[in-house]
């Protein structure tokens, strides 16, 4: 398996503060990778460097063989990266369909069929079919999260990057989302997932990296990480 996305000694930060220190990781085609760690350890900063929203200060980010370290966000997105930001960040006054239309129009128009893409996300989250003409901001938190994931999918991308997809969501909806991510993985999609909720990560991912104060302190198969109770207690705040 070849690396679809790789970070080579990437450092990043905001203003005078450096948050990430020489992070190296890779996501191979078809696998699901989880980025774990407690709050404020650099998980979101890593994703913002990948998506180009907060470009890396040093190091190299490669996506599908192209150096994307300094590319603007819309070019990275158009290379085939679907993104679901932390806190969902939907366009609240726009309808569900309009929210989905934006990445589709930017990335997939002329290449993919709009109604086929909609069918695909509605098959995953049937409730969105009923909500399609509602304002995204009027939906429940769980439904908004589904729209955010759908928005990362309708561009027909090969890699989706999800920032905390189960944060602040009812347990029943978490189940739906975990199931959906499993389905997507089964369809051959590549997934990079940031999670504080380690149970979600363990259920979905093949491999994991643990971030602690901006550095990768552990990496490996998700089963091995899950079995390492010392690691869980020390870096993830999980009592075992």
Distance, CA of 93 to CA of 110 (rounded, Å): 27
| Nearest distance, CB of residue 172 and other proteins, angstroms | 27
User: CB-wise, 53 or 127, nearer to other proteins?
Assistant: 53
Q: Which stretch binds other proteins (CB under 8 A): 13-21, 32-40, 49-57, 172-180?
A: 49-57
- How would DSSP label each residue in 120-187? HHHHH-HHHHHHTTSBGGGS-HHHHHHHHHHHHHTT--SEEEEE-TTTT--HHHHHHHHHHHHHHHHT
Which secondary-structure segment (H or E) carries 10?
strand 3-14
Taking CB under 8 A as the rule, does residue 21 contact other proteins? no
- With beta carbons less than 8 A apart as the criterion, state whether 98 and 151 touch: no
- Smallest gap from residue 91 Cβ to other proteins (A): 5
31 in Cβ contact with 5 (< 8 Å): no
* Positions 83 through 112 that interact with other proteins (CB under 8 A): 83, 85, 89, 91-94, 98, 101-103, 105-107
Residue 78 as a binder of other proteins (CB under 8 A): the answer is yes
**Stretch touching other proteins by CB under 8 A, among 26-34, 46-54, 120-128, 194-202:** 46-54
- Considering the rule CB under 8 A, would residue 155 count as an interface residue with other proteins? yes
Residue 115 three-state SS: helix
> Residues interacting with other proteins, by CB under 8 A?
51-53, 72-74, 77-78, 83, 85, 89, 91-94, 98, 101-103, 105-107, 151, 155
């Amino acid at each position: 398996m070849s690396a679809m996305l790789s970070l080579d000694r990437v450092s990043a930060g905001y203003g005078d503060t450096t948050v990430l220190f020489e992070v190296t990781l890779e996501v191979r085609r078809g696998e699901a990778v989880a980025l774990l760690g407690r709050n404020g350890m650099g998980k979101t900063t890593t994703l913002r460097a990948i998506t180009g929203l907060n470009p890396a200060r040093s190091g190299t980010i490669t996506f599908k063989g192209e150096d994307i370290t300094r590319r603007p966000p819309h070019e990275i997105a158009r290379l085939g990266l679907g993104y679901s930001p932390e806190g969902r960040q939907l366009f609240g006054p726009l309808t569900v369909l309009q929210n989905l239309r934006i990445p589709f129009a930017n990335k997939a128009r002329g290449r993919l069929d709009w109604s086929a893409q909609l069918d695909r996300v509605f098959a995953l989250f049937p409730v969105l079919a009923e909500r399609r003409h509602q304002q995204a901001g009027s939906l429940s938190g769980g439904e908004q999260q589904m729209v955010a994931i759908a928005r990362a999918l309708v561009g027909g991308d090969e890699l989706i990057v999800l920032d905390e997809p189960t944060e602040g969501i009812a347990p029943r909806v978490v189940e739906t989302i975990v199931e959906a991510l499993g389905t997507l993985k089964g369809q051959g999609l590549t997934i990079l997932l940031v999670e504080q909720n380690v149970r979600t990560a363990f259920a979905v991912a093949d491999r994991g990296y643990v971030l602690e104060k901006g550095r990768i302190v552990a990496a490996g198969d998700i089963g091995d990480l899950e079995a390492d109770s010392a690691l869980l207690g020390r870096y993830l705040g999980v009592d075992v």
